[in-house]
Amino acid sequence: MHYIVKTSLAAASAFALTATFAASAKAPTGEDILVNSPKGMAKQMESWRQNATRDLNRKLELADRFRKTARPQGIVQVRFELDQDGRAVNMWTQSNTAGTSGEKAAKWAIRRMRSLDDAPGAGANGRTFQANIIFATSLRQKEQLAAKLGKMERSRLAAGGAADAVVILGS
């Protein structure tokens, strides 16, 4: 059976941002909500978002090759900060329905990402990043978990405050 992994990476500001970044979510009506950044930055952010998501997906595929346990199924949300070299540090699990093996695979992949320090804007200092990772073994399961993740993200955005200053990466 083909193994499906869907990732979304989010960068959350731990302080009030001086610039607004592109973010997207689904309204209760199912329509996209898009908050755009200043002209030019949205294009840079979209390009970076795509590169970071591809990087994370490659690392997750590599983690799957070395797996010695059953494939995880569920959603893992991992938050982390970046050091001065753009490497993930101070990692913690925000939520996890994929068990220990899913959490380990997610953290392993994030630690090996090399595209995080290329984020456009005011830089990564003071920001908390969030990776939303879906582990699924079928397209149907992936779609169900994606719907659940969408509800989780809408709730987070509705809560407002620092939690809504997020750049969503991934599909």
Query: Which of 11, 142, 25 has the alpha carbon at shortest distance from 78?
Result: 11
**Mean pLDDT highest for which of 6-20, 30-44, 45-59, 93-107?**
93-107
**Interval 85-111 mean pLDDT:** 91
Task: For the chain, give the percent of residues with pLDDT over 90.
Answer: 30
Beta strands in the chain (DSSP E): 4-13, 23-26, 32-35, 74-82, 88-96, 127-136, 166-170
Instruction: Indicate whether 19 pLDDT > 50.
Output: no
* Spatial separation of the C-alpha atoms in residues 135 and 126, rounded to whole Å: 29
Q: How many Å from the N-terminal Cα to the C-terminal Cα in the chain? A: 22
Query: Residue 39: its pLDDT value, please?
Result: 58
* Spatial separation of the C-alpha atoms in residues 119 and 98, rounded to whole Å: 28
Instruction: Indicate whether 163 pLDDT > 60.
Output: no
Using CA atoms of 79, 127, 147, 161 in order, give the dihedral in degrees to the nearest 10.
120
| Domain carrying residue 72 | 4-170
Length of the chain: 171
Task: For the chain, give the percent of residues with pLDDT over 70.
Answer: 65
Whether the Cβ atoms of residue 151 and residue 23 lie closer than 8 Å to each other: no
How far is C-alpha 5 from the geometric centre of its chain's CA atoms?
12
List the beta bridge partners of residue 167: 11
Query: Residue 71: its pLDDT value, please?
Result: 85
Instruction: Indicate whether 51 pLDDT > 60.
Output: yes
Q: What domain count does the chain have? A: 1
Q: Which pLDDT band, with edges at 50, 70 and 90, does 88 fall under? A: confident
Where is pLDDT greater, at 9 or 53? 53
